[in-house]
Structure 1
Amino acid sequence: MSDAIADAKRALRADLRERRQNLSSSARDAAAAGIRSQLDALVERVGARSISCFLSTPTEPGTREFVNAAVARGIRVLLPVTRADGLLDWAVAGDGDDIVEGMFGLPEPVGELLSPMAVNDVDLLVIPAAAVDRTGMRLGWGRGYFDKTIGSMENCPPVYAVIFDSELVDDVPRDLHDQPVTGVVTPTQTLELAPTRR
């Protein structure tokens, strides 16, 4: 990655991080309710019976209500567990799972771990992002876990990034390893931005 791209990514991430930290608790609650509604509708539209999702941190658009409701409806939800080698293991979400602080301070489930290959069986990937541009290019938080996951899948299902409305931008800095997403889910809308790769 060139220094200019790395610097641009760092600057944009810092700005987005600060904006997220300045959101009020009522704005966060409203965003979580909107995300749940949008994700419920997306799962229904795709006809997904098995999905991957993530447990949101306090500053991310909330996904936990959605995950709990999906599990209660009988949808198989795989949650990521970070590994030191840059890959993701997966755990099946259960009702009332224990959550621990994983690598990088991210919330992760406690339970039996499935290999990185487990995600190949899902109908829909729901992933975190710092921002997404209008071509579907995603800016993550710089560790590359989801770029590696998406890039390694032979038959990748639709991939939707969860962001706040203001984080859908005209352009994000990109490098060769960065992977686009099919679309975004925000508290107010679900948009398809790029064709699904098959």
Structure 2
Amino acid sequence: MPDRIEQAKRALRADLRERRQTLSAHAREVAEAGVTQQLDALVERLGARSISCFLSTPTEPGTHAFVAGAVARGIRVLLPISRDDGLLDWSVATPDAEIAEGLFGMPEPVGDVLGPIAVNDVDLLIIPAAAVDRTGMRLGWGRGYYDKTLGSMERCPPVYAVVFDTEFVDDVPRDVHDQPVTGVVTPTRTLAISAHTA
């Protein structure tokens, strides 16, 4: 049974990855502007003063403009740093932070490193995803970093996954360790998932 779930996940990830790679530069710019607007409104609505967010890769819905804007407005933003043991360290975003390629080629900050428990202090988590379904189940990219992080938090604040509009789907394959999200942010809308409403 787990093998069948893993095969279904791999097939869906491959399809989503291919679709992301075919997006034009213009489509990516439009998506980043939309995501920035949606995330700004979400942070404002929730009154979040301390958040975590990821730095997007070139094929993901863009988050760099949002992070820069949030930092400029005085919001504390924690950025993830991948570790070999499957956990995430965190670093506080600064206006002039140096960004380098981390594990798996992900953009990650270079600077003072806070341990995995630093994320327990945030008011909102903004995380990457390959897809999210209507029940709030998230399909990640298969490394388990965010499932481990969410599963280990003492008091989990709202968790919103950022995807393209076409990646909010009816159903994703799920396994026992997969963690749901509170809502989804796309370039055109922000949706709270009713079972986990913020």
Alignment of 1:5-154 (within 5 A): 5-154=5-154
**What TM-score results when the alignment is normalised by the length of structure 1?**
0.98
Are the aligned partners of 1:91 and 1:111 in contact in 2 as well (CA < 8 Å)?
A: yes
Identity across matched positions, percent: 75
Q: 1:169 maps to what in 2?
A: 169
Aligned equivalents of 2:148, 2:195: Cα separation in 1 = 19
Q: Which amino acid aligns with 1:177?
A: H
Point out where structure 1 has 5 or more consecutive residues left out of the alignment: none
Q: Secondary structure at the match of 2:135?
A: coil
> d(CA) in 1 for partners of 2:87 and 2:30?
32
- Looking at structure 1, the residues matched to 59 and 189 of structure 2 have their Cα atoms a distance apart, in angstroms, of 19
Paired AA for residue 139 in structure 1: L
TM-score by length of 2: 0.98
1:187 aligns with 2:187: yes
2:151/2:179 contact within 8 Å kept: yes
Q: Which amino acid aligns with 2:88?
A: L
Cα distance between partner residues in 2 of 1:32 and 1:114 = 28
8 Å CA contact retained: 1:156, 1:196: no
Residues in 2 aligned to 1:194 and 1:152: alpha-carbon distance in whole angstroms: 23
- Give the letter aligned to residue 86 of structure 1: G
Deviation at residue 195 of structure 1 after TM alignment = 4.1
User: The residue matched to 2:136 in structure 1 has which SS?
Assistant: coil
